[in-house]
Amino acid sequence: MAFSHAFDVTSLREYDIRGIVGKTLSAEDAFAIGRTFGSMVRRNGGRTLVIGYDGRLSSPMLEEALVQGAVECGLEVIRVGRGPTPMLYYASATLQADGAIMVTGSHNPPDYNGFKMMLGGKPFFGAQIKELGELSARGDVVAREEGSVRELDVRDEYVRRLAKDYVGGERKLKIVWDNGNSSAGEILEKLVAVLPGEHIVLNAAIDGTFPAHHPDPTVAKNLQQLISVVRDNGADVGIAFDGDADRIGLVDNKGEILWGDQTLILLARDVLKTHPGATIIADVKASQVLFDEVARAGGKPLMWRTGHSLIKSKMAETGSPLAGEMSGHIFFADKWYGFDDALYGGVRALDILARMDEPLSVFRESLPKTISTPEVRFDCDDHRKFKVIEEVAERLRKAGAEVSEIDGVRVNTPDGWWLLRASNTQAVLVARAEGRDAAGLERLKAALVAQLEQSGLSSPDFSGNNAGH
């Protein structure tokens, strides 16, 4: 019987395939991904495919169907089992696999799941995902041929490699980890057993219902338990993960949050000691403070488009040893493999802390102060959202504004900057502003709102608490 399968149109995203299990995502979809992506691996000259899955309740079922589809392409499928997404990336890199697929819903609610893919050691995204959908719908796959399956436990090897880059110093640290019931649970248990210091692990059990809190460390309310335990125990630092542990959140010894760009400054200063003059990449949502501090530390700051696949590709292109996003994706190519890994990012942050003479709060408090809005997302039709950006950009150019169009529009003024960009994954526009003081921030917000109104859109809700930064 000929193969042909059409996906729900909402599931084919820019960076992954993702949907609500039982509604827009099913075992049939997983089989079709295995069958079609496997065919793409074969046509790319590949023979091996590594597959892993996270701790969501639907993941084992999806992984099984995925493996079945891939085996029918004649591939050697290597199953690395349940774990964090970075463990799958690690297996792919060290085995030099021709393809890799992770079954994961990342930081989405429990009823979601999805698939992150790599082809030939590189991110698989954008036009490639669109092509996968078209090939599947047409049934344009390689002839059926029975491949093979083997299971490979890389957990201990991965933990040894994570711990290897902890050199540390004289300082003995007390660390609180919030696993957030993520798929890193078993790896984290093994890791804290071999790292120096005193470790307290919260929400250690892998649980796809995420009973403690939503698994997204970029949202302050999800860090409240971690903050309390850090303060109550006089800990030096708190470290949090998202659902598949490729994004990190940090809390200092005073229980104050370090946002993604502040964490990147900490890491960049250290990396630039051994890579003077290196390019450090951050996404367009990051604070101007980050770019200024990288330059002050002797690096070349590079602002790039938001999206982990886009950042990874730019790192490879520029030879950058370190990159990061406001969302908590931190990418190390210094001593590491160029992918985002919250466990490894945590190890590197602890290594720096153990060599510091002062608490983490002193570092945070030493950074230039700004005041910023939260990231505001508001509905805008998928076709209209890009048109709005074009209209705003054209008006700004005519007005002679200082504007970057790398990803949407980011406008610099004496007050600070504001950003408007179209989401690559949802029918929304994303806005953010950062001012040098409260009055400046209000002027920036007013300028942003004025541009939206000229394009026929109402003002987004900036009523969320402005954050000091």
Mean pLDDT value across residues 145-151: 97
Delineate the domains of the chain, giving CATH numbers in brackets.
9-153 (3.40.120.10), 158-270+325-366 (3.40.120.10), 371-468 (3.30.310.50)
SS3 40: helix
Question: Would you call 106 a catalytic residue per the annotation?
Answer: yes
Model pLDDT, residue 439: 97
Mean pLDDT value across residues 217-232: 96
* pLDDT, tens only, 318-355: 999 999 999 999 999 999 999 999 999 999 999 999 99
Mean pLDDT value across residues 285-307: 97
Lowest mean pLDDT among 27-31, 75-79, 421-425, 459-463: 459-463
Q: Is the pLDDT of residue 465 over 60?
A: no
Model pLDDT, residue 308: 87
Mean pLDDT value across residues 419-423: 94
Give the pLDDT band (50/70/90) at residue 213. Answer: very high
Task: Give backbone dihedrals phi and psi of 447, rounded to 5 degrees, phi first.
Answer: -65, -40
**Chain centroid offset of residue 78 CA:** 24
Q: Is the pLDDT of residue 425 over 80?
A: no
Model pLDDT, residue 462: 80
Give the pTM. Answer: 0.95
**Chain centroid offset of residue 397 CA:** 32
Average pLDDT, the chain: 95
Model pLDDT, residue 2: 78
Model pLDDT, residue 459: 83
Q: Is the pLDDT of residue 466 over 60?
A: no
Tokens of 428: 């929304």
Model pLDDT, residue 464: 59
* pLDDT, tens only, 152-173: 999 999 999 999 999 988 899 9
Q: Which residue, 133, 100, 156, is CA-closest to 32?
A: 133
What is the rounded distance in angstroms from the CA atom of residue 178 to the CA atom of residue 201? 6
Mean pLDDT value across residues 13-24: 95
Percentage of the chain with pLDDT > 90?
92
> What is the DSSP annotation of 62-131?
HHHHHHHHHHTBT-EEEEEEES-HHHHHHHHHHHT-SEEEEE--TTS-TTEEEEEEEETTEE--THHHHH
**Chain centroid offset of residue 255 CA:** 23
Q: Is the pLDDT of residue 468 over 80?
A: no
Give the pLDDT band (50/70/90) at residue 469. Answer: low
Mean pLDDT value across residues 134-159: 98
From 58, 92, 106, 287, the catalytic residue? 106
User: For 317, left (φ over 0), alpha (ψ -120 to 50), or beta?
Assistant: alpha
Percentage of the chain with pLDDT > 70?
98
